[in-house]
Amino acid sequence: MDARTERAAALREKTQAQHAAFRRAIKKSSDDKGNFYCGPLAKQVRIARANVRAAYMTLLFACPYDAEAKHIDKRLWTDTTYKIIVALRASFLRSDKRTDSTNTAISATSGKKNERSQGEYRRFLREERTFWESFAVKIVHIFSLDEAYGALQKLGLLGTDAAREAQLAEACDAGVDAMYEPIARKRDAENWEHRQHLFTVLQRVLTYCGDLYRYTEMVSHTGKRGYHQKTKPIMHDAIRFYHEAHLLLPDHGHPSNQLAIVATSLGDAFGAVYQSYCATCVPHPSSNAQHNLSLTLTAYAASWEHCPMRHEVQDAWRQASLVHTAAERLCMPVLGEKLERPAAWFESLLHFHALTARHTHLDEAAVLGEVLLRNVLSLRGKNSLRAVDYLRVFVAAVAALVRIRSTGTLTAQADGMAQHGSELVLVSHILGLLTALLAVAREEIGESKPGCKPGTGPTLQRTLPTLRLGAKWVYKHADYLQALAHRAATMANATGVEHNVLRMACIAELYQSKTITFYASYADYLNQLKRTFVGLPVLPHEKQAGKALVAEDAELMALLPFAGVLFHPAPHSLALATEPPLFHKHCCDMARIADALQDALSLASVPSSGVTFDTEQQLFVSVAQSVQLEVHEDPVSLALRVMDRERDAYDSSDLLRTLPRAEHVPPTASPWHGVLESAPESLCSTPLAKSSIWATHTTSPFGWNAL
C-alpha cells in the first residue's frame, strides 16, 4: 500500500469517527422527537459540527475520486447544513404558535423569542451562504476548472470585492497543497471521468447556494405560523444560482427541479410544470420532479371533473350531433369559449396536459386543445404572450409526448389504444400551435414594405424562437409523424372502435388535418423568408442544422426531444461560454432565420416529410397528403353515442338540455394552483414585460423572454 492509499484510509477512518461524534452530540442535545434543548447551535453541537465538516472537506480535497468521497458533498450539506436549517426553522415556527396565545404576557415573551429565533436563522443562512460560495470557488481554483470561471464571474463570486476575493483565495490555499500535490492534482483533474465528477460536485454546490438564497427569501416573506404574505418573494439570486448550475451540466435535471419549486413559490403554476418537464426529459432526470409532476397532473385531471369548461365541451359535442350530414361537420366540434386572461388560458392548458397524461376524456382533451389554439393569438395588449411563453407551451407539449412514449400511462391499467390516442391529441396540439404562429409570422412578413431593409417586427421576434425549434423537432420526428398518421388510420378502421372512451375516428381526422395544414403553412412561411431575407446564406448541399447558438439553446440543448438538432458543445466540454456568441437581439433573429432555412433544406431531403424543395423554381412545396380512412360511420355520431352511453345522467331524447353547472373545484393535491400575478421586476427587462399581469417566465433569466 503506497503513501497516498494509506493517507486515504486514515482520512476515511477519521471522517467516520468525527461523524459518529457529531451524531452523539446531537443525541445528547435533543429529545426523542429531535427538539434541541438549547437550540441546534449549542456549544457542543457547534464544536462537533465544525470537526465533522473539516473532516469532510479534507477527505473531499485530498481524495476527490475515492469511493468514500464520491458523495461527500451531499453528506456535508445534509449533516452540517440542512439538518440545522430544519431544526432552526422548527424552532421559530414553534415560537410563532406561542405568540398566538391569548395570554398577553406569554405572547409578548414568545414574540421576543420568535424574533431572536428568526434572527439566529437568518444569521446562520448568511454564514452558510458564505461557506458554500467559498466552497464553489475553492473547487474551481484547486482543480483548475477553467470552464466554470465564467459562471462564478456572473454570480459575483469573483472580482466584485477585492477583500472578499483575497479571503476566498486564502481559504483555497490553506493546507490543501500539503494534502494533495499540485502537479498530481492537476494531472488527475484532466482525466475526463474525474473532471465530470468535479463538475457534478460543483453543480450540486451551486444548487445548495441557490437553496440558501431561497430559504432566506422565504423566511422574509413568511407571516405568522408560516403562511405566506400577499407579496411574492423576489427569488432573483436563487434563480441565478440554479440557472448557472443548470448550464454547467445541462443533462442533469436537479437544478430544473429546484426552479420548479421557485415557480411554485411565485404562484407560476405552468412555469412549475414546465420546469418539472425539463427536469424529467434529460439523460439524468430528477426523481423528485417525476413524482411531483405526476401528483400535479393527477390533481388537475381530478379538478377537470368539476370544471365549468367541461360542460361547455360536452354541450359542443351535442351541438355537433345536430348537423345532419357528416360532410358539413368539422372533425371536432367548435367551442365558443373565450379565454381572455392568460391565467385562465394557462389553467386550461394544465387541464389539457393532465387529461393527455392520464389518457382520460381524450375527446374532451382534443376539443380543449382546439379552444386553446383558437385563443392563443387573441390574447392581446398587456395580456399577449411573449416569446418565452410560446416557446414553453411548445416545449412542454413535446416533453409531455416524450414522457408518454417512454413511461406510458399514469393510470394503473395501461391501455395501448389510450396511449396512442394521447399521442395523436398531443401531436395535433403541437402542429396546431406551430400553424397558428406561422400564420401571424407570415402576415407580418407579408406587410413589409418593398425596398426597405429587411428586419424583424415584434410578432416575428416573438414567434421565431418557437418556429425555429418546432422545425427542428419536426425534422427529427418526420418518420414518427408519418408512422403516426398510418397508425391513426389503422386504429380508426379497427373493429370495435366504438368501445372505450376513444373517439379515434375524430381524433385521427383531426391529426391528419393538422398535419396537412402545418406543412402547407410551413412551405409558404419558408418561401416568404427566402424572398424577404435574400442575403442570408442557404447552402442546399451542406447540412447546417444546429450550427447557430442563440439564447434559448443554452436552456434546452440537453432535452431529449431536441437531442442532436440543437447546438451543443464538443463531446468533452462541460460548460457553456458565459454568453452565446450571438447575443445581440438583431443578430439572434438573423441567426434564427438563417438556421431555420438550413433546417428546412434538411427536412425537405427527408422522404417522410411533408415538404420538399423545388430546385427549378427555388421554392418549398408542401406534399403532405391525407391517409384515407375507411370510416363506416360518421365519427361525430359515433363519438356522441359512446359519450352518451358513459354518462348515465344524460337524456338522449333532449340533445340540447342544459347541464347543471357544478362549482369549479381547484386541485387540492397541488400547491401550484391560483391566479398568476406579476413577475418580479428584477427579472423584467422591458416595459412590456413589466406591464404583464402574470408570471410564466420567472425562472428563466434570458433577456429575450421580455419580447
- Check residue 177 and give its pLDDT: 44
Angstrom distances, CA of residue 386 to CA of 223, 379, 704: 33, 10, 9
The average pLDDT across 252-265 equals: 94
| Across 104-126, average pLDDT | 73
User: Does 636 have pLDDT greater than 60?
Assistant: no
State the amino acid at position 112 in one-letter form.
Answer: K
In this prediction, what percent of the chain has a pLDDT beyond 70? 65
Beta bridge partners of 619: 614
pLDDT value, residue 627: 61
Q: Is the pLDDT of residue 546 over 90?
A: no
Say whether pLDDT at 416 is over 50: yes
**6, 20, 72 from 12: Cα distances, Å:** 10, 12, 11
Q: Is the pLDDT of residue 144 over 70?
A: yes
pLDDT in tens, 151-166: 999 999 886 555 445 5
pLDDT of residue 232: 72
The cell for 449 is 414594405
Grid coordinates in use for 648?
A: 348515465
- The pLDDT value recorded for residue 354 is 95
Q: What is the pLDDT of residue 275?
A: 96
Q: Where are the domains of the chain?
A: 3-216, 294-543+578-659
Residue with the three cell numbers 404558535: 97
- What pLDDT shows up at residue 25? 85
pLDDT, the chain, mean = 75
Q: What does the pLDDT average to over 456-466?
A: 86
Q: Report whether pLDDT(521) > 90.
A: yes
The residue with greater pLDDT, 210 or 106, is: 210
Span 535-557, average pLDDT: 62
pLDDT in tens, 383-410: 778 889 999 999 999 999 999 988 754 4
The per-residue DSSP string of 290-344 comes to HHHHHHHHHHHHHHHTT-HHHHHHHHHHHHHHTSS-GGGS-SS--------SHHH
pLDDT of 247 over the 80 cut: yes
Question: Quick one: average pLDDT of 421-438?
Answer: 93
Give me the pLDDT at residue 325, please. 56
> Is the model's pLDDT at 298 over the cut of 50?
yes
Amino acid identity of 470?
G
pLDDT, tens digit, 9 for 90 and up, residues 176-201 = 544 455 556 667 777 888 889 999 99
At residue 635, the pLDDT reads: 54
Phi-psi region of 618 (alpha: psi -120 to 50; beta: other; left: phi over 0): left
- Strands (E) located in 29-144: none
Is the distance from CB of 688 to CB of 705 less than 8 angstroms? no
pLDDT of residue 488: 75
Look at 370 and 682; give whichever has higher pLDDT.
Answer: 370
Residue 289: its pLDDT value, please? Answer: 94
Give mean pLDDT, residues 616-628: 80
Per-residue pLDDT band at 39 (split at 50, 70, 90): low
Least confident of 507-511, 630-634, 662-666: 662-666
Residue with more model confidence, 315 or 211: 211
Average pLDDT over residues 4-32: 81
**In the chain, pLDDT over 90 holds for what percent of residues?**
28
| pLDDT surpassing 90 at residue 471 | yes
Residue 231: pLDDT band by 50, 70, 90 thresholds? low
Closest among 322, 65, 43, 294 to 180, alpha carbons compared: 65
